[in-house]
Amino acid sequence: MIVLSGGTGTPKLLMGLIRVMPEDELTVIVNTAEDLWISGNLVCPDIDTVLYTLAGMIDVRKWWGVQDDSFTTYQHLQGMGHLEKLMLGDIDRAAHIMRSELIRSGKTLTEAILEMARSMHIRARVLPMCDEPLATIIHTPEGEMHFQDFWIAHGGEPEVTGIRFRGIENAMPSREVMDALSSEDAVLIGPSNPITSIGPILGLPGFKDVLKNKHVAAVSPIIGKAPVSGPAGKLMKAMGYEVSSRGVLDCYGSVLDALFVDGTDDTDLGDAGGIKIMHTNTIMNGVEDSIGLAQSVLNYARSQ
């Protein structure tokens, strides 16, 4: 199975999937449009959360960073007046250093991530969506800013008047991503932000065309009229979508064959344009919930 992922909702589901299916049958294609360079190293928040989740190292309270990490370097830098945009843990920073050194030595981002995954004994195939650098730029009345500035420095507060993915026109799905798609029929869009996590993946030139011949299911990250966490609601609204599973359907449009919606969500989806709607518990407050949803998704995929 191929899973499209951001850095919170879908990793929660991956935690269940690796417990209900052979991990080496899983390929995860991960958003890179929130990546940024900090203090000389490339930070890939979504990829790192996926890697740490699969390696059993993720901090499940925050869904970013390594469990029980220290922040000694971050604090010393701060004390010397060098302020970093993200609070980087020491073990997390080691991963950024390794990745950046591999890239500086001439490896692609994909090659670097495959090597890091091997070093963490991860059996799933974790693939960045592309090798070219991309940036999610949020347009606000205060000016344009990188997604991480919007979300962290500005607390997600500014009004959003537009969103663009800088560099997407010159990017393409990597060879490894295309190879994975050519040998797998079932694609799952995890419960991730449809605009800033899945949007860049589906927006890569040619990506949606490849999905036309696949069985594509998604899990809605919106329950009722709000996301479980994060800025998905604000960003969907800014892009003209209803904040509901109806809006999620509209975001993904014709690529979808099925949508998993939370059992408590009574949004009227009408005939959903032929897309199969399945209601089940999609709230993952722990590994048991993740396993339950993973099993439902897997049963559906195997029945196709």
Residue choice 2, 4, 6, 29 for contact with ligand FO1 (CB under 6 A): 6
Residue 86's binding partner, choosing from ligand GDP, ligand FO1, none, with beta-carbon cut-off 5 to 8 A by kind?
A: ligand FO1
CA distance 258 to 278: 7
Give me the numbers of helices (H) and strands (E) for the chain, helices first please: 12, 14
Hey, which bits of 242-290 come out as E strands? 258-262, 276-280
Q: For residue 69, what are its two tokens?
A: 């990490």
In the complex, what is the shortest distance from the CB of residue 43 to ligand FO1, in angstroms, rounded to a whole number? Answer: 6
- 11 scored as a contact of ligand FO1 (CB under 6 A): no
- Any contact of residue 7 with ligand FO1 (CB under 6 A)? yes
* Binding segment toward ligand GDP, per CB under 6 A, in 77-85, 97-105, 132-140, 227-235: 227-235
Residue 91 found at the interface with ligand FO1 (CB under 6 A):
no
Restricting to residues 22-51, name those near ligand GDP by CB under 6 A: 46
Q: Does 46 bind ligand FO1 (CB under 6 A)?
A: yes
The yes or no reply on residue 231 touching ligand FO1 (CB under 6 A) is no
In sequence order, the β-bridge partners of residue 260 are: 219, 278
Asked if residue 219 binds ligand GDP (CB under 6 A), the reply is: yes
Nearer to ligand GDP, 33 or 117 (CB): 33
> Residue 27: which of 227, 196, 255, 214 has the closest Cα?
214
12 binds, among ligand FO1, ligand GDP, none (CB under 5 to 8 A by kind): ligand GDP
Which of 77, 86, 91, 103: binder of ligand FO1 (CB under 6 A)? 86
Computed over its alpha carbons, how large is the radius of gyration of the chain?
18
Residues 59, 15: contact at Cβ < 8 Å? Answer: no
Give the one entry of ligand FO1, ligand GDP, none that residue 228 binds, where binding means its C-beta sits below a cut-off of 5 to 8 angstroms depending on kind: ligand GDP
Closest approach of ligand FO1 to the CB of residue 262, in Å? 21
Spatial contact of 131 and 33, defined as CB atoms under 8 Å apart? no
Segments in the chain forming alpha helices (H): 9-20, 45-54, 72-79, 90-104, 109-119, 147-148, 175-182, 198-203, 207-211, 232-238, 245-252, 287-303
Q: Cα(49)–Cα(57) distance, rounded to whole angstroms? A: 9
C-alpha closest to that of 253 among 212, 284, 193: 212
Answer for which of 11, 16, 45, 247 binds ligand FO1 (CB under 6 A) is 45
The nearest distance, CB 71 to ligand FO1, in angstroms, is 10
Residue 148 binds ligand FO1, judged by CB under 6 A: yes
Q: Does 34 bind ligand FO1 (CB under 6 A)?
A: yes
Nearer to ligand GDP, 110 or 197 (CB): 197
- Is residue 10 close enough to count as binding ligand GDP by CB under 6 A? yes
Q: Which does 16 bind (CB under 5 to 8 A by kind): ligand GDP, ligand FO1, none?
A: none
CB of 239 to ligand FO1, least distance (A): 17
Pairing of β 2-5 and β 226-227: unpaired
Question: Minimum distance from CB of 302 to ligand GDP (Å)?
Answer: 21
Q: How far is the CB of 15 from ligand FO1 (least distance, A)?
A: 17
Token readout for 276 is 């199969």
* Cα–Cα distance for residue pair 96/295, rounded to 1 Å: 33
